[in-house]
Structure 1
């Protein structure tokens, strides 16, 4: 079985970082409480060099922050778009971007799986969040061509997490009040360390 899928298609070889990252610039990652993260994003309607440049920046920013996915509103742009570089539970790597993602509803009665989840916009916090074991996302690529990505396990968690972002939903919104307070305490304790590590990596990747 191929060890890497790029935009849903198998690849014989793929570099450590997506080539887009080499063209991109690091952008500041927005944090919980900032308005752009908490409202639904707009559909992408223009496919061209500006969109491609945004995707380049998002890939570079994601790698600097050591993330598995990053949505556009996490770099302050309220558009329905995310990038990802994420393993599934079998260790297969999945890399790509999805514009205007639409998540298929999970089948009724299918149990959700609890697993630990973090978010680059909630720096330093991890919490257990219930998610479907399988996800199917329909959307477009940066040229506007239709795209469907199917995922299981951790990669499915990544796709549902990032699609949530495009609706203005953070994983914090899926927690109880007590759990959310716990997550925010973790941010208070670890945020400075996380941001310092990102700053160091930004220099190393330049």
Structure 2
């Protein structure tokens, strides 16, 4: 299914601070939302991931594609995952993050560098397990936070961790 790119909303929009609703991955409306999310990601060159709340949909859907990021090691593919949940996290490290919904700022955020996520593929509902490391793990965790209404600034330990955005790399 071909999706339609949507506008990425910016903080302090209320959807960005609300918990997203679980979805039925086989529902045609969810499949259409997943296609829109992926189309929006493809149209946003600085982004490596997006969550449905960022395009105005309070749904537990994330899309990501970290293959072109210079700090990527793993690559699960260009994926949309419904109802993703983190089941394993290890090897914690600080790294720079930005967000398409918060322009002009990046921050040093502590995240696991190795993760396992379970979820379902929109459309078929087929279960999927993603094992990611390095930047891809960071990107996925960033998107998972969006589903829980948490922006990366909520994970910043202090003002010295904030930076003005100097490049277009986005988690």
Please state which band the TM-score falls in when normalised by the shorter chain.
Answer: 0.7 to 0.9
What are the residue-to-residue correspondences of 1:42-61 with 2, within 5 Å? 42-45=21-24, 47-61=26-40
In 1: Cα distance, 2:11 partner to 2:141 partner: 18
Question: Quick one: higher RCO (CA 8 Å, sep 6+), 1 or 2?
Answer: 2
Cα deviation for residue 178 of structure 1 reads 2.1
Match of 2:134 among 153, 161, 170: 153
Instruction: Report the aligned-residue RMSD.
Output: 2.3
Query: Do the aligned partners of residues 105 and 136 (structure 1) sit closer, same or farther apart at CA in structure 2, a change above 3 Å counting?
Result: closer
Give unpaired runs (5+ residues) of structure 2.
none
Query: Do the aligned partners of residues 51 and 133 (structure 1) sit closer, same or farther apart at CA in structure 2, a change above 3 Å counting?
Result: same
Query: Do the aligned partners of residues 128 and 50 (structure 1) sit closer, same or farther apart at CA in structure 2, a change above 3 Å counting?
Result: same
Q: Which structure shows the higher strand fraction?
A: 2
Query: Do the aligned partners of residues 62 and 46 (structure 1) sit closer, same or farther apart at CA in structure 2, a change above 3 Å counting?
Result: closer
Cα deviation for residue 25 of structure 1 reads 1.4
TM-score, normalising length: structure 2: 0.84
Q: Does 1:135 align with 2:143?
A: no
Query: Do the aligned partners of residues 68 and 46 (structure 1) sit closer, same or farther apart at CA in structure 2, a change above 3 Å counting?
Result: closer
Residue 73 of structure 2 contacts residue 136 of structure 2 at CA under 8 Å; is this kept in 1?
no
In 1: Cα distance, 2:78 partner to 2:93 partner: 23
Residue in 2 that maps onto 1:178: 159
In 2: Cα distance, 1:95 partner to 1:81 partner: 13
How many residues align? The count is 162
Give unpaired runs (5+ residues) of structure 1.
1-19, 195-206
What are the residue-to-residue correspondences of 1:39-78 with 2, within 5 Å? 39-45=18-24, 47-66=26-45, 67-78=47-58
Cα deviation for residue 157 of structure 1 reads 0.5
TM-score, normalising length: structure 1: 0.71
DSSP-derived class of the 2:153 partner: helix
Residue in 2 that maps onto 1:86: 66
